[in-house]
């Protein structure tokens, strides 16, 4: 099977001692593409260097919501300028979005929304997909995406209500399903109600394993196993469809 992990963080310190081995284990498991998502400007250069070193590694650059809230307008401009100047080296804008779990003040929320909109509009200009993080702000995020008529939207580890899942499905958004689906009824329900043509696979490595251990891209095979069981389909068939979805969204970038 050929597998894809559309969302992880290979620059996390947890991979500092064995990244080459981690990449090799992913290849041995059948992973042909790993999209590592940036959170802030200081990670951009190192991630692009990483992608040049490992052929299966692709890069998404973006400003994480909490970073968007805290940084200055000048820092935001520098990040967006970097993305524009390196548009041919990336496959998506991400991870971006809204996170109101720890941001409860109006000013902080408005700042997040402002930077989110800037990034969505940049993605349209650069013709890149967007990889969306939303926590405690699912309704606001979906409304903005709909109002902006955003295309090629990937909802990473989406934990909204079933009504919100239906809303996203109606708008043609994609859902990237994490390894945590092995034990999460919420993710299993998304797999049930969203067409396979709008599903992708991810790990969010080194986070979100369903066991008490570090997650890594090779584990995306577990997600395929879960999707196949719920959809009543062969694992290889599922993997092939997920790969086709990936190619549709990212290969021309």
Reported as a single tens digit per residue, the pLDDT across 21-72 is: 999 999 999 999 999 999 889 999 999 999 999 999 999 999 999 998 988 9
Mean pLDDT within 78-85: 97
Beta-carbon count within 10 A of 56 CB: 16
pLDDT at residue number 252: 57
- What digits encode the pLDDT tens for the residues 214-236? 999 999 999 999 999 999 999 99
- Using omega within 30 degrees of 0 as the cis cutoff, is the peptide bond preceding 206 cis? yes
Q: What is the percent of the chain with per-residue pLDDT over 90, rounded to a whole number?
A: 92
**Structural domains present in the chain:** 3-251 (3.20.20.140)
pLDDT in tens, 132-143: 999 999 999 999
Place of tokens 């991400």: 94
């Amino acid at each position: 099977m050929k597998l894809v992990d559309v969302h992880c963080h290979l620059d996390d310190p947890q991979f500092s001692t064995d990244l080459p081995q981690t990449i090799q284990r992913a290849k041995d498991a059948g992973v042909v593409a790993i999209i590592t998502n940036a959170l802030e400007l200081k990670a951009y250069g190192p991630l692009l260097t990483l992608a040049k070193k490992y052929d299966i590694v692709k890069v998404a650059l973006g400003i994480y919501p909490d970073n968007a809230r805290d940084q200055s307008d000048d820092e935001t401009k520098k990040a967006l300028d970097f993305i524009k100047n390196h548009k041919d080296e990336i496959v998506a804008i991400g991870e971006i979005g809204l996170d109101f779990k720890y941001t409860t003040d109006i000013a902080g929320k408005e700042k997040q929304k402002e930077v989110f909109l800037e990034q969505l509009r940049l993605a349209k200009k650069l013709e890149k997909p967007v990889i969306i993080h939303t926590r405690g702000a699912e309704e606001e995020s979906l409304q903005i995406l709909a109002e902006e008529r955003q295309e090629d939207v990937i909802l990473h580890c989406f934990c909204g209500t079933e009504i919100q899942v239906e809303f996203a499905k109606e708008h043609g958004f994609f859902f990237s399903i994490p390894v945590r689906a092995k034990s999460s009824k919420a993710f299993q329900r998304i797999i049930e109600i969203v067409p396979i043509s709008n599903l992708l696979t991810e790990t969010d490595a080194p986070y979100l394993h369903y066991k008490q251990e570090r997650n890594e891209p090779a584990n995306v095979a577990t997600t395929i196993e879960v999707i196949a069981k719920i959809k009543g389909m062969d694992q290889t068939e599922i993997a092939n469809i997920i790969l086709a979805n990936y190619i549709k969204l990212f290969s021309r970038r």
